[in-house]
Amino acid sequence: MASKVFKLIAEEAHRQKYGLEMIPSENYVSSDVLKALGSILTNKYSEGFPGRRYYGGNEVIDKIENYAIDLAKKLFGVPVALVQPYSGSPANLIITMAVCQPGDTVMGLSLISGGHLTHGANLSFSSIFYKAVQYNVGKDWKIDFEELESLAKKHKPKLIWVGTTAYPFKLDYKKFRKIADMVGAYLVADCSHITGLIIGGVHESPVPDVDIIMTTSHKTLRGPRGAIILITDRGLKKDPEIKSKLERALIPGTQGGPHNHQTAAIAVSLEEALKPSFKKYAVQIAKNAKVLAEQLGTVSETHLILLSLTDYGYGMGYQAQYALEEAGITVNKNTIPGEPASAFYPSGIRLGTPALTSRGMKEKDMVKIAGWIKRVLEEIRGLDLPKQQEKRKDFLRETKIKLKENKNLKKIRKEVESFAGKFPVHSIQ
């Protein structure tokens, strides 16, 4: 009798193949990455670092981790790499612990402006254990460097984050460097979203201008879920002890044994990222995002589109996410700068092109997909979020039921399934 888990995995595989995955932080890994993730390496405990383990029997594990480190250093052009962080948020905690003491000031882009939770957002460790100061975007949705400089001079942060999670524009690392130097702060780039674009030459590299880099491995890098911490030459010059500080913050500070199957899968994805074909892939991501954004009436300089839905009504993020999911298109609701509704009931959606591009889709396909998105959004016009907070929960439940029964959405879903099913999704079966 087949395990229920494997039946559910098959169900999810069908959803992924016959739908359009458009959440910009999601991607499809290769068959080789999947093989490494499902390998016997998960059986081994390896607390510590290569040549410095707390357990025996790690000769082969040391070779794998050292190989992953060497690949990361080569790919990014940095002297030091750590490949053990479990994921992006733990990696950001490791970095913050390494360079700051509890109560020190950290600065990052606010959540509502497209920043990440771990860069100082309310309820995150980065604001619970540290004094968090948030900078913002202006009316043009771009980072307000005048405000950033003023806040930095006033609060003298120990650490300045430059990184985003819902920001469709390129980042100017040199401007951040200038401000960090004014106050003596560590400058840390969280380039999780745009690492693939950096490798492909589509986005400027932070390496010459920052002290430390954190990247997840599972977004545009197209690897397994994990993270890499990199130290630049500039970072080593600023603090010669920074590597040992980061290692202590990693273990015993925040983690135990590394996930060796994950480390191996990261190494496989780094091998793939060093191939010429990866650069073509990264270029195509940006081309696709540009066309998709134009078709939807907005702009993108990266892989990501932040779409305001205020033209469709008030607080339309939930409704759009529900409707698009019924049509076989996966996005996520998201706040927009100057959010008119609420962070919990946002007015926009966040979507992107990495996963679509991994499946081989090109610009002409983005035109088709934008057409479906616009048709779907017409189905929510008038389904405004109630202004009275106590009515919202019932409204959203009823709206979800209504959209599930919508005949136009069912029709679009069939079109999407017919289209998406023609494009491959990697597996190990």
Q: b/e for 7-35, b at 16 or more Cβ within 10 A? A: eeeeeeeeebbbbbbbbbbbbbbbeebbe
230 three-class SS: strand
Q: Which residues contact 375 (CB under 8 A, 6 or more apart)?
A: 408, 412
Residue 217: half-sphere exposure toward Cβ, Cα within 13 Å: 34
Catalogue the active-site residues.
Answer: 45, 47, 190, 216, 219, 225
Q: Do 347 and 308 touch, CB atoms closer than 8 A?
A: yes
DSSP state of 143: B
Q: Give the burial class of 175: count Cβ atoms within 10 A of its Cβ; 0-12 exposed, 13-18 middle, 19 or more buried.
A: middle
Partners of 228 in the beta sheet? 215
Write down the residue that tokens 């759009």 correspond to: 320
CA distances from 236 to 239, 245, 247 (A): 5, 12, 14
> Which amino acid belongs to residue 409?
L
| d(C-alpha 52, C-alpha 59), whole Å | 11
| d(C-alpha 298, C-alpha 315), whole Å | 19
User: Tokens at residue 96, please?
Assistant: 């913050």
Q: Which regions of 254-373 does DSSP assign to beta strands (E)?
A: 304-308, 329-330, 332-334, 348-352
DSSP state of 42: G
Pairing of strands 80-82, 227-231: antiparallel
Whose CA is closest to 25, among 299, 265, 229, 305? 305
